[in-house]
Structure formats: structure tokens, C-alpha cells
Structure 1
Amino acid sequence: MDVRCTSIEEVREHIDRIDRELVALLARRGNLVNQAAAFKKTRDDVRAPARVEQVITKVRALATESGAPGDVVEQVYRAMIAAFIEEELKAHAALPGQPAP
């Protein structure tokens, strides 16, 4: 849904609303990432480079469908995935029976 704004204040209001939605979605995604840690046996399973590339391919296609810039979407997702992998590695390490990193 494209919005035509008539002032910078209106632009900022819309961006602030989107930011609230994005942060809520990141929280939901993070919860699932932490749950995924319990299903992975090794730190390499957490890193899952093949899965990362699957996700990147998928979101680039979604970007094209949505009219979003594919390079920006990819950069954002790579940064987000890297941060979530670090969080998931911490969650994985905290599981019973896991060796120290």
C-alpha cells in the first residue's frame, strides 16, 4: 500500500509505524530462531550456510514481487541473519549437553 505524504512529519509518522511493526516481527522471528536452536545438534547446524542462501534467494524473489530493491533486501537480510545466528549460537550453547564454544 503506497502512501502519498504531504509533509516530512507525515513521512516520519508512517516510517515510525512501520518500524514498530518491523520490531514486533523481529521479536517473533527471534523467538522462532531461539526455538530452532533446540533442534540443531552442532554449531555448524546453527550456522547452516546452505539455508542462509535459500532464505536470500527467497527474499530476493519476494523483493522483486513487491517492487523492493533486491540489493537492499539482501543486505538487510544478511545482516539480520548474521545477528540472529549469533543469538541462536548463544541459545544453542546454553542447552543441556552442549560443549563450551
Structure 2
Amino acid sequence: MDDARAPALKAVKTFAAPDPEACRDMTDVRQGVDEIDRMLVALIARRQGYMDAAARIKTDRNVVRDEKRINDVLAKVKAECERQGLSYEAIAEPVWREMMERCIAYEFVVWDELRAPGKASKP
């Protein structure tokens, strides 16, 4: 892989699976997909940790959902898609919108739990 994606991919992890262009059969393809899925789970788990931190830090429930931030994230994702050669419209935008909606819903739950009556300590 000699394009702009190479440095970003190496920053994530060195892949054990072959590059997509080098796959000889569906076993190779599935090995690559499974490897990426494991990395995605780890990255999304880390993202969830930041939602926990946001719920702890934000003092007003009304700022949990931030439309300006949503638009900012989507703009950054679109720019990165252009650099990486990923279809923004077909793949990235719907995936990110869904992930952000799920993260916002999760953050609301955590925000409420942290401030529930009878909670021993304040966030």
C-alpha cells in the first residue's frame, strides 16, 4: 500500500492479514475483516470511555447533545475519507451518524446515572 492510507494504518497497527490486493481467497479476506473488526471494537471501546468522561465533565444535561460538535465531527470524517479513499456518502456518513446517536444516547444514560438521587458522590 503506497498511498496516503499507509501511514494512518501503520499508526493503528501492523496487520497480520494480507493487504486486500494480495488476498488469494475468502480465507484471506475474512482474516483481514476479522482483524479489522477486533481493532474497531477496541477503538470504539476507547471512544465509549470518552463518552463516560464527557458525561462526568458536562454539568448541564442540555449540552450532552451538541449539534455544532456533530457537524464538526462529520466534517472531519469527510475530510479523512477523502484522504483515505473511503466513500463518505455510502459508508462513513451513515456509520458515523449512527455511532454518534448511540454514543449520545449512552452519554445521556451515564449522565443521569451519575446524578441519580442517592448517588454517594457527585461527578
Q: TM-score, normalised by structure 2?
A: 0.74
Higher relative contact order (Cα pairs below 8 Å, separated by 6+ residues): 1
- Asked whether 1:84 is paired with 2:99, we answer no
The DSSP-based 3-state class of the residue aligned with 2:63 is: helix
Residues 58-93 of structure 1 deviation map (CA, whole Å, 9 limit, x = unaligned): 001000010110111111100000001111000100
Instruction: Tell me by how many angstroms 1:12 deviates.
Output: 0.5
Structure 1 ranges of 4+ moved more than 3 A: none
**Distance between the aligned counterparts of 1:85 and 1:23, measured in 2?**
18
Instruction: Tell me by how many angstroms 1:10 deviates.
Output: 0.8
**Distance between the aligned counterparts of 2:42 and 2:58, measured in 1?**
25
Structure index of larger Rg: 2
- Asked whether 1:70 is paired with 2:70, we answer no
Where does the alignment leave 5 or more consecutive residues of structure 1 unmatched?
Answer: none
The DSSP-based 3-state class of the residue aligned with 2:57 is: coil
**Distance between the aligned counterparts of 2:92 and 2:61, measured in 1?**
26
Give the paired residue count: 98
1:83 counterpart letter in structure 2: R
- Asked whether 1:43 is paired with 2:61, we answer yes
**Distance between the aligned counterparts of 2:115 and 2:61, measured in 1?**
14
**Distance between the aligned counterparts of 2:99 and 2:81, measured in 1?**
16
**Distance between the aligned counterparts of 2:62 and 2:80, measured in 1?**
27
Q: Percent identity?
A: 36
Provide the residue aligned with 2:120 in structure 1: none
1:7 counterpart letter in structure 2: D
